[in-house]
A = this chain, B = another copy of it.
Amino acid sequence: MATKKVLLISGSAVMKELPDLSSYAEVYSLDQLSQPALDSILGSVDCMLVGVLWPKVLNREALARMNHLRFIQLGFAGANHVPFQNLPPGVTVCSNAGAFSTGVGEYTWALVLAASKRITRFDSALRKSENSPDFFSKTLRGVTILQGKSLGIVGYGGIGRRVALYGRAFGMEILAFSRHAQTEPVTKIFQGREGLLQMLRVSDVVVVSIALTNKTKGLIGAQELSAMKPNAIVVNIARSEILDEEALYEHMVANPGFTYATDVWHEVSGVDARSSEFSFLELDNFIGTPHVSGPSEMATGEPIRLAVDNLLRYLKGESPGNVVDASEYT
């Protein structure tokens, strides 16, 4: 019988009821290892389960010593936190794409509706007794009925498809920007930069649900924003850096009828900043929540169950899914 593979797990705090993997691997939890203990196993680690963000202790120096590392399974759908440039050659990285369709999809629709119906604006105005007839009639005119409108989905993966399902139930026309050919019923797939601009021109609501890679960073900048309808609603559930932050802020100030709702924030030093050099939180046409859509779904345990299922495929010698193309991140 072959020697068991060594599996290193990080972010175990998010993992309730992790199944017993000891028949497949020798399992170590990074959170419970002293530095000397970690040092002693680094060279024998074969695979990893990274529950949340990449652990800082596995820096360039540590990774240089992980010369047996072959496989990394992520708990997150996004892989942009992985230090691809420091990984030993030949490591397969698998994301957890698709595992967040339900909770994050629902959360996305909550932001779409909060923006369309001006829910945060009305609730906050009532609490501040800001309830003049002028405010009332002006904000009332900003309430949008979704039925019959166009929904443009930037990135048509698990979350994008779930959002399309909700959009169809609300009687919207579904458009999608995707590099993949059409595999689910949508009105039209748009591809390439010109396709993106075409889709943005006709969309009443735009949902950003695309992976952050070196191809999508800054995908939506000044030109894309100005292509949109002046009263468009943009919901970002993916990563903040897909939009150019300065162009976005200027567009929002110049177009008070435009709304940006986001659960994701520009990062500072690798963590969500929840603030910005631009005063988004002072704008009436901004809705922000502190990156809770993923964590609230993680709390159900389901995403980690799916990640472990994929890890088990590797451990059993089967082909895992969701293999990340590292060239998109380096």
Contacting pair B120 A297 (CB below 8 A)? no
In this complex, the interface size class of chain A, counting residues with CB under 8 Å from chain B, is 35 or more
A115 (CB) vs chain B CBs: closest residue = B110
Stretch at the interface among A26-34, A163-171, A199-207, A248-256: A163-171
Number of copies: 2
- A107 contact set on B, CB distance < 8 A: 117, 143
CA distance A170 to B166 in the complex (A): 7
Contact with B along A279-317 (1 / 0, CB 8 A): 001100001111011011101100000000000000000
- With A106-B170, A110-B116 already in contact, the answer to whether A140 and B299 are too (CB < 8 A) is yes
Inter-chain contacts of A109 with B (CB < 8 A): 113
A143 CB to nearest B CB, Å: 4
99-132 of chain A: CB within 8 A of chain B: 102-103, 106-107, 109-111, 113-114, 116-120, 122-127, 131
Q: Are A106 and B111 in contact (CB under 8 A)?
A: no
Q: Is A141 an interface residue (CB 8 A)?
A: yes
**Contact across chains for A114 and B106 when beta carbons are under 8 A apart:** no
Q: Is B145 within 8 A of A103, CB to CB?
A: yes
Q: Which residues of B contact A102 (CB under 8 A)?
A: 145, 147, 171
- The residue in chain B whose Cβ has the minimal distance to the Cβ of A263 is B122
Choose among B126, B145, B296, B297 the residue that contacts A290 (Cβ–Cβ < 8 A): B126
Find out whether the CB atom of B119 lies under 8 angstroms from the CB atom of A289: yes
With a CB–CB cut-off of 8 A, which chain B residues contact A299? 140-141, 143
Question: Interface readout for A163-191 with B: 1 if CB under 8 Å, 0 if not?
Answer: 00110111100000000000000000000
Q: Is A146 among interface residues, defined by CB-CB distance under 8 A?
A: yes
A136 interface residue, CB < 8 Å from B?
yes
Q: Kindly list chain B residues whose C-beta atoms are within 8 Å of the C-beta of A296.
A: 117, 140, 143, 145
A217 at the interface (CB under 8 A from B): no
A274 is an interface residue with CB less than 8 A from chain B: yes
| Partner-B contacts on A (CB < 8 A) | 102-103, 106-107, 109-111, 113-114, 116-120, 122-127, 131, 136, 139-141, 143, 145-147, 165-166, 168-171, 274, 281-282, 287-290, 292-293, 295-297, 299-300
